[in-house]
Copies of this chain bind each other. A is one copy, B any other.
Amino acid sequence: MARVTVSRPNVSRLNVSRANATGEKASHKAIKRRLIIAGKVLVAEGQDDFTRGHISFRLPDDPNLFFMKPHSIGLDEITMQNILTIDLDGNVVSGTARRHSEVYIHSEILKVRSEVNCVIHTHPTHSVALSATGRPLRCYSQPGALFYQALGVYTDTINLIRSDAMGAAVARALGEGRGVLLKNHGIVVTGASIEEAVIGTIMLENGAMVQLLAEAAGDPAPEFSRDDIEKLKHDISRPEQFKINFDYLARRVKRRGG
């Protein structure tokens, strides 16, 4: 399993302050606005568990920093003001809101997966139940294909991921994959873009629900062949697919008053 090393420049609070002094970059504002919408979409699609989910996004112009939803609010309560800027050691470099103690899920994945920019962690009911069965996600649906041979399993503990060592273990479970089932706890889903991670998160829960329904009904039929599934996986993994579907959910949330 190949790992990518990201060179880590010295990021000082000074630099960030200077950026703020001269006006926050337009690209940063656009990312924060996208995170705000992403949070509303995730709640609208049932990914909320009180204030317990989080989402992060790597700064394109400073890959050793990432924006992250703070502690103590719902995913649908992210604002331009409360988003934190955090470094790959998990230290807050900008922002005054409280940091999620599980920040290391984000920092450690972003550290070793340079092409991943967005990390989401939630506790969706069917995915948690699937993790409890101890069985892998089967390819009984399009979501099953999206995560085909790309869904790691983290079984070290049921506890919160509150140290860099634990975050690194989650990152190892992720490997080169798209997501991780944290046994009896929740899920982690990654993406190059916010859109990819959000759509992946929603699809994983749907795929878990399809599987649990089929297994409860008993004796599911065999999956399709590896080659057949790999082709679909390729087709539904294109970046524009995630953007199109995310944009639709964003419009829907707005229409419904979100």
Among the 9-residue stretches A26-34, A61-69, A78-86, A247-255, the one with 4 or more Cβ atoms under 8 Å from chain B is A247-255
User: Is A192 at the interface (CB under 8 A from chain B)?
Assistant: no
Cβ of A199 and Cβ of B145 under 8 Å apart? Answer: no
| A-side interface residues, number (CB < 8 Å) | 64
Cβ of A125 and Cβ of B209 under 8 Å apart? Answer: yes
Cβ of B125 and Cβ of A158 under 8 Å apart? Answer: no
Quick one: given A183-B221, A215-B217, are A132 and B141 in contact (CB under 8 Å)?
Answer: yes
Cβ of B145 and Cβ of A140 under 8 Å apart? Answer: no
Cα A135 to Cα B217 with chains together (Å) = 10
The residue in chain B whose Cβ has the minimal distance to the Cβ of A72 is: B244
Quick one: given A50-B248, A133-B220, are A128 and B141 in contact (CB under 8 Å)?
Answer: yes
User: Is A235 at the interface (CB under 8 A from chain B)?
Assistant: yes
Quick one: given A142-B185, A228-B158, are A129 and B217 in contact (CB under 8 Å)?
Answer: yes
Cβ of B213 and Cβ of A212 under 8 Å apart? Answer: yes
Collect the chain B residues with CB atoms within 8 Å of residue A139's CB. Answer: 158, 184
Our pick among B73, B128, B138, B222 for the contact of A248 (Cβ within 8 Å) is B73
Our pick among B51, B123, B244 for the contact of A141 (Cβ within 8 Å) is B123
Collect the chain B residues with CB atoms within 8 Å of residue A130's CB. Answer: 214, 217
Interface string of A39-79 (1 = CB under 8 A from B): 00000000001111000000000000000000111101100
Interface string of A143-186 (1 = CB under 8 A from B): 01100000000000111100000000000000000000001111
Cβ of B133 and Cβ of A221 under 8 Å apart? Answer: yes
Collect the chain B residues with CB atoms within 8 Å of residue A133's CB. Answer: 214, 217-221
User: Is A95 at the interface (CB under 8 A from chain B)?
Assistant: no
The residue in chain B whose Cβ has the minimal distance to the Cβ of A242 is: B50
* Interface hits, A205-232 → B, CB 8 Å: 206, 209-224, 228-229, 231-232
* Chain A interfacial positions (CB closer than 8 Å to B): 49-52, 71-74, 76-77, 123, 125-126, 128-130, 132-135, 138-142, 144-145, 157-160, 183-186, 199, 206, 209-224, 228-229, 231-232, 235, 244-245, 248-249, 251-252
